[in-house]
Amino acid sequence: MTAERTRVAIVGAGPAGLLLSHLLAEAGIDSIVLDSRSREDIEQTIRAGILEQGTVEILEKIEGSRVHTMGHRHDGVELRFAGEGHRIDFPGLTGRSVWLYPQHEVLIDLIAARLAAGQDLRFGAHVDTVEGVETDTPRITGTDAEGRPFEIVADFVVGADGSRSVVRPSVAGSMTAGYFREYPFAWFGILCEAPPSSDELIYSNSPNGFALISQRSDTVQRMYFQCDPEADPNAMSDAEIWETLQSRVPGTSLNEGPIFQRDVLRFRSFVVSELRKGRAALVGDAAHTVPPTGAKGMNLAVADVILLNEALRRLLLENDESGIDAYAEAARHRIWKAQHFSWWMTSMLHLSPESTEFDRYRQLGELHAVVESEAGRRYLAECYTGWPFRTTL
């Protein structure tokens, strides 16, 4: 078998890998993108839906993006607690907004754009080994969709392959090297056929636990409620799910309808110990996981990619290592801010099994302090809409 040659081997065709291949191609740097999943799998997996304004500004420039035709601008969210809703006005506080545009739609756009541009993009390709990251010619081997072995030699390898990254051990030394936090709850997510219950998202802290009321379209809604991490998504009837959701948004009532998809989302925080080693680096969920509260996951992946793109341009076009040497620290700066925000929103809004009455009253005190202070509302709005992307290293 003769090894194929490319400049950047990107493992993972999620938002991070696809966006990186786009940005590199703009600079004339060729790449091969590999993903073990099928195109259908990638395009149909339901994920979160909120894009920061900075993310939208990147995506809207990509040929064929439907973010402005299919997505919806959201100028605020509601924090609901103690029977009342409190609006956080994003443009009024920060001059910025967010967009509700589900991640699988972003992926449909990106895959179409990359294929139209002639990107070497391979689905069903399993990577088995990543070697030589401390040489100038790292290589990956694996098996393609037809079961044939492949070997690719690159100038650089990028792990954009999600939380079960096969590239991570080559960069960080092991799968688990890093900083972890587990939470004693999960989210039960549903998609239902019903009219919207609210124009904007509702993040609700209730005595029975957290709920998030989100939307997808005029006829399809996405909602979540805090549940036991071991919950079986099929064990509850539709009526029980609606009763649970209604009880989690005291003071308002939800429009109900048939539930056609259910899932349980794990809750964890993780940051890998090393984001780069020699000629390999990690981006997105391969490098970090955030709990879903605040919808930072994909936005953080985009922020990593913008930095790595700049670093790789310098390395591969100018033979200048300063950018790649600065990548890990620059990425970590935002990663920990987003970790904090996701943890903070989670801790402020969820009921922990070990919560005492003290904890519960303290939490309500915290929520009142945030919504009654312009500084508090602005802080939340700045984090939620996203800090400006840093593009220089």
User: Catalytic site residues?
Assistant: 74, 203, 292, 296, 384
Nearer to ligand DHB, 140 or 345 (CB): 345
* Cα angle, residue 262 at apex, residues 290 and 105 outer, rounded to 5°: 65
Site string for ligand DHB, 167-206 (x = CB under 6 A): ----------------------------------x-----
Query: In angstroms, what is the minimal distance from the CB of 103 to ligand DHB?
Result: 8
Nearer to ligand DHB, 36 or 97 (CB): 97
CA 283 from centroid of its chain's CA atoms: 11
Nearer to ligand DHB, 126 or 270 (CB): 270
Nearer to ligand DHB, 280 or 301 (CB): 301
Nearer to ligand DHB, 219 or 322 (CB): 219
- When asked if residue 74 is in the footprint of ligand DHB (CB under 6 A), the reply is no
Closest C-alpha among 36, 312, 330 to residue 155: 312
Among the residues of 117-181, which ranges form H helices?
168-172
379 membership: H or E segment, kind and range = helix 374-385
- Strand pairing class (120-122; 72-74): unpaired
Site string for ligand DHB, 220-259 (x = CB under 6 A): --x-------------------------------------
Number of other residues whose CB lies within 10 A of the CB of residue 252:
16
CA distance linking residue 374 with residue 89, whole number of Å = 10
Answer yes or no: are the C-beta atoms of 346 and 354 closer than 8 Å: no
Among 295, 308, 348, 349, binds ligand DHB (CB under 6 A): 295
Query: In angstroms, what is the minimal distance from the CB of 50 to ligand DHB?
Result: 5
Nearer to ligand DHB, 132 or 292 (CB): 292
Options 10-18, 79-87, 288-296, 333-341: segment touching ligand DHB (CB under 6 A): 288-296
Options 33-41, 42-50, 142-150, 268-276: segment touching ligand DHB (CB under 6 A): 42-50
Nearer to ligand DHB, 104 or 126 (CB): 104
Among 14, 15, 49, 76, binds ligand DHB (CB under 6 A): 49
Contacts of 331 (CB under 8 A, 6+ apart): 275, 283, 287, 303, 304, 307, 308
Q: DSSP code of 286?
A: G
Query: In angstroms, what is the minimal distance from the CB of 144 to ligand DHB?
Result: 33
Residues between 322 and 381 with contacts to ligand DHB, criterion CB under 6 A: none
Closest C-alpha among 111, 127, 131, 107 to residue 119: 111
Query: In angstroms, what is the minimal distance from the CB of 355 to ligand DHB?
Result: 21
Question: What does the block give as tokens for 37?
Answer: 């999943």
Work out the end-to-end distance of the chain between its first and last CA atoms, rounded to an integer number of angstroms.
Answer: 39
Among 8, 9, 23, 50, binds ligand DHB (CB under 6 A): 50
CA distance linking residue 307 with residue 280, whole number of Å = 14
Q: DSSP code of 235?
A: S
Answer yes or no: are the C-beta atoms of 285 and 163 closer than 8 Å: yes
Query: In angstroms, what is the minimal distance from the CB of 208 to ligand DHB?
Result: 19
Among 71, 138, 142, 292, binds ligand DHB (CB under 6 A): 292
Among 294, 309, 314, 324, binds ligand DHB (CB under 6 A): 294
Contacts of 57 (CB under 8 A, 6+ apart): none
CA distance linking residue 297 with residue 295, whole number of Å = 6
Residues that bind ligand DHB (CB under 6 A): 48-50, 201, 212, 214, 222, 292-295
